[in-house]
Structure 1
Amino acid sequence: MTDRAAPEVQQLQKRTVFTLAGAQILGGIGVASGAAVGALLAADLAGDAFSGLSSASNVIGGALIAIPVTKVMTESGRRPGLVLAYVIGIIGAILIVLGAALDQFAIAWPGMFLMGGGSAAGLQSRYAATDLAEPKNRGRDLSIVVWATTIGSVIGPNLAETMGDVAEKFNLARLSGSYLMTIVVFAAALILLQFALRPDPLHVAEEVDGINPALRKQKPLPLKEALALIFTIRSATAGLASMALGQAVMVSVMSMTPVHLQHADASLGVVGAIISGHITGMYIASPLIGIATDRIGRRPVIMTGVLILLASFALAGQATGHDHVQLAIGLFLLGLGWSCTMIAGSTLLTESIPVETRPRTQGAADLAMGICGATAGVVSGIIVGIGSYAMLNLIAASVVVVLSVIVVREWLTVRLAAA
């Protein structure tokens, strides 16, 4: 066991969460800056038919980048893995700027995948916040890091005009200005983590739990086995289902809402306002949801998220493209329900798996979540194309019902075992 006193660990945890939140704000600015103009840049370079490739590439890239990042975390700790993720993101942003300057989508497109490094860093940061957290505070600490993304998500897009002016001063494409900002803030996040995230929280967690890190380094858990481990633990499976299915339904409905509005000739201002409200719902209540996760329980918060999501689908699914207020409320609830399933699900997953396997299993979980989100984004377009936006919401509701069955069955198993 460790010689570290509990107060020392608690103080270190406070500093760790503060550092991760600071890096998350910077990373959020970079990710949101690129997201704000990515579709426009892709359309400029390759045509409107390719405009959706920016966000899809970023999601897929983030999921795939989680694999090497968590491998590094397993072997060397949280800090080197997060630094690697931001380095990859910086390389991606540089390629996008270069592709825009040369008017070559073939150069910019790989950069859009690599930009997913910023997203991967953000997702893994929430896990790093739980390494040293007391069980009663895990949800709160994780949610603080998630909430920090809100600040970056608000700041980033609002700098697009200013950074466009900066890019033009250097004779670069105006839309590439946002990616110049991404390079700067990703580098700042990298530096902050490199120098402030010490000692490494994963190493201290192993020390506290009396785990020999040499065993972990000698035989890192393969990705396939990491996924298999999750499915052998009922509570971990419920946590993963909450994350992955919540992500799938959120991405599917969110991505098709602008199309639904466009069919009714809604202005870009209306579309932007509704999506902004959705993003606000995703993050604004994160600290409160984290506290509820700790005080009420992981599973009750997941089920609360399920009910909120069902209400969201009922409102959005019955709204025409002219019902802007109803869609705005529905999309806000979509973000809020997603936040419940993400925070409580991530907390449940993390505490269900052994410390020495966490980086790889968490990476496997994020990969599964990313694949579900990317697949849902593609399938949602097909569903709306052959059916309707209302049908999409109905299918999303059925997916959430499946999630509720998984969580309730696991919950009952736990209660019966404790009886």
Structure 2
Amino acid sequence: MHTEVLSEQQQRKLYKRTLWIIITSQIFGGAGLAAGVTVGALLAKDMMESDAIAGLPTALFTLGSALAAFSIGAISHKRGRRIGLATGFFIGTIGALGVIYAAAIDSIVLLFSSLFLYGAGTATNLQARYAGTDLATPTTRGKAISLAMVFTTIGAVTGPNLVAPTGRMADSIGLPTLTGPFILAAVAYGLAGVIIFFLLKPDPLLVARTIETKTQVTTESTEKRPLIYLGAIVMIVTQVIMVAIMTMTPIHMTHHGHSLSAVGLVIGMHIGAMYLPSLVTGALVDKFGRSVMIIASSVTLFLSGVIGTFSPADSLLSITIALTLLGVGWNFGLISGTALIIDGTTLKTRAKVQGTTDVSIAVFGASAGLLSGVFMSMSSFGTLAFVGGVIGFILLPVLYWATNKTRS
């Protein structure tokens, strides 16, 4: 079925085409994921009238993304990236629509269940980065991950900064103001799903497997477990730190008099920092190695925590710098960790391992989102930021262990 792509020239052509399809879908996917990050906690706070559960929305859509990550990985393993990714985006669309309806009828139960489904879009947006690497060579994997992620920046930065205008649009049609970003999310996820379903043909993962079989490539015949474990731990730790601090930032800012537009600006800068560095991060990962970028992630996360700890609560500039560094540290960790997962797996098991890894990332992220509200209500945002920065240093001994295991 895929014999037409076996020549090197045709493989390169398909690789480039696949990247452009993933890039286009990521633009819309980025806009979709920004809604829950920006106003999810505020919406729950308004409906529940409690700060302690403000982290619950993030926990719910992160748990939803965990289930979705497992499902997308399993579907992709059996039927390819196209069906797996399209299914995830469409479920995310249903979740966003559910959030809108839940807020309109003031139903907490429907809100929470819809946020769970909405998480499928987040998981799909992240898993799309793997599709860009299926036809990449070992020396261009970091760059492939970057190209698949970087265009998420357009949607991810635009989304939070559309909080005010989408809110006014929601008001004009009789919906609660904070549902505006979820209207954007429903449209964005739906478009991303349509693009993947109709354009991602032939499927890059299925093609890569066919190429491997027909050319009898055996260079990646065995899994390298230390690399897989290291990649997973790096992504889990960076996700925990990022989710915990990011989730409480809107609450912290509104408590100290910052406007909704200011919250949107800070979260937009943060999400931009999560994805925009991908322009160079992938090339750095390929050139200097995974280990160097893991160290860079650890240091950047620590600096973010320190600045967040000592920033005056009314300083928009300080909180913006802290959240920007948080995004950059997460980016370094995600791309280097993703590259390690790909390095350590074979095409036969890759989709399944990737799905399982993203489940772990999502579960730990959900726990961080849920506990962050409780933690901050018992202490402060500054303490939360400092603890997050310190946790970033866990990456260094793990890196040392994995390096020694790989050499032995």
Which TM bucket (shorter chain)? Answer: 0.7 to 0.9
Identity %: 33
Give CA-to-partner distance per residue, 1:15-38, whole Å, 9 cap, x none.
Answer: 111101101111222222454443
Alignment of 1:342 with 2:334, yes or no, is: yes
Equivalent runs, 1:51-90 vs 2, <5 Å: 51-90=54-93
Contact 1:304 1:337 in 2 (8 A): yes
Q: TM-score, normalised by structure 2?
A: 0.88
Q: Give the structure, 1 or 2, with the largest relative contact order (CA under 8 Å, sep 6 or more).
A: 2
3-state SS of paired residue (1:356): coil
Instruction: Letter of the 1:339 partner, please give it.
Output: N
Q: Report deviation, 1:186.
A: 2.0
Aligned residue in 2 for 1:38: 40
Instruction: Letter of the 2:205 partner, please give it.
Output: L
Aligned residue in 2 for 1:128: 131
Contact 2:31 2:159 in 1 (8 A): yes
1:326 and 1:184 map into 2 onto residues whose CA distance is: 34
Equivalent runs, 1:394-405 vs 2, <5 Å: 394-405=386-397
1:157 and 1:353 map into 2 onto residues whose CA distance is: 36
Give CA-to-partner distance per residue, 1:200-246, whole Å, 9 cap, x none.
Answer: 0110110121189xxxxxxxxxxxxxxxx98x700111111110001
Aligned residue in 2 for 1:139: 142
1:101 and 1:380 map into 2 onto residues whose CA distance is: 27
Give CA-to-partner distance per residue, 1:141-200, whole Å, 9 cap, x none.
Answer: 111221111111122234445444554565544544433333322222122111210110
Instruction: Letter of the 1:375 partner, please give it.
Output: S
1:254 and 1:86 map into 2 onto residues whose CA distance is: 23
Equivalent runs, 1:311-330 vs 2, <5 Å: 311-330=303-322
Change (3 A) 1:82 1:136: same
Contact 1:281 1:332 in 2 (8 A): yes
Alignment of 1:110 with 2:117, yes or no, is: no
2:81 and 2:116 map into 1 onto residues whose CA distance is: 22
Q: TM-score, normalised by structure 1?
A: 0.86
Aligned residue in 2 for 1:277: 269
Aligned residue in 2 for 1:225: none
Contact 2:99 2:111 in 1 (8 A): yes
Change (3 A) 1:10 1:166: same
Aligned residue in 1 for 2:218: none
Instruction: Letter of the 2:198 partner, please give it.
Output: F
1:194 and 1:95 map into 2 onto residues whose CA distance is: 22
Give unpaired runs (5+ residues) of structure 1.
213-228
Give CA-to-partner distance per residue, 1:232-265, whole Å, 9 cap, x none.
Answer: 7001111111100011112223334445555655
Instruction: Letter of the 1:142 partner, please give it.
Output: I
Alignment of 1:92 with 2:99, yes or no, is: no
3-state SS of paired residue (1:133): coil
Alignment of 1:244 with 2:236, yes or no, is: yes
Equivalent runs, 1:137-176 vs 2, <5 Å: 137-164=140-167, 166-167=169-170, 170-176=173-179
1:118 and 1:41 map into 2 onto residues whose CA distance is: 19
Contact 2:66 2:362 in 1 (8 A): yes
1:256 and 1:351 map into 2 onto residues whose CA distance is: 35
2:235 and 2:91 map into 1 onto residues whose CA distance is: 25
3-state SS of paired residue (1:132): coil
1:386 and 1:51 map into 2 onto residues whose CA distance is: 13
The aligned length equals 399
Among 3, 6, 10, the residue aligned to 1:4? 6
Aligned residue in 2 for 1:203: 206
Alignment of 1:180 with 2:183, yes or no, is: yes
Change (3 A) 1:238 1:268: same
Among 24, 27, 50, the residue aligned to 1:25? 27
Instruction: Letter of the 2:396 partner, please give it.
Output: S
Instruction: Letter of the 1:28 partner, please give it.
Output: G
1:157 and 1:325 map into 2 onto residues whose CA distance is: 17
Q: Report deviation, 1:127.
A: 0.8
2:69 and 2:146 map into 1 onto residues whose CA distance is: 20
3-state SS of paired residue (1:42): helix
Change (3 A) 1:338 1:192: same
Report the aligned-residue RMSD.
2.8
Following superposition, which runs of at least 4 residues in structure 1 exceed 6 angstroms of deviation?
Answer: none
Contact 1:274 1:331 in 2 (8 A): yes
Contact 1:24 1:145 in 2 (8 A): yes
Change (3 A) 1:81 1:317: same
Contact 1:263 1:321 in 2 (8 A): no
Among 201, 215, 225, the residue aligned to 1:233? 225
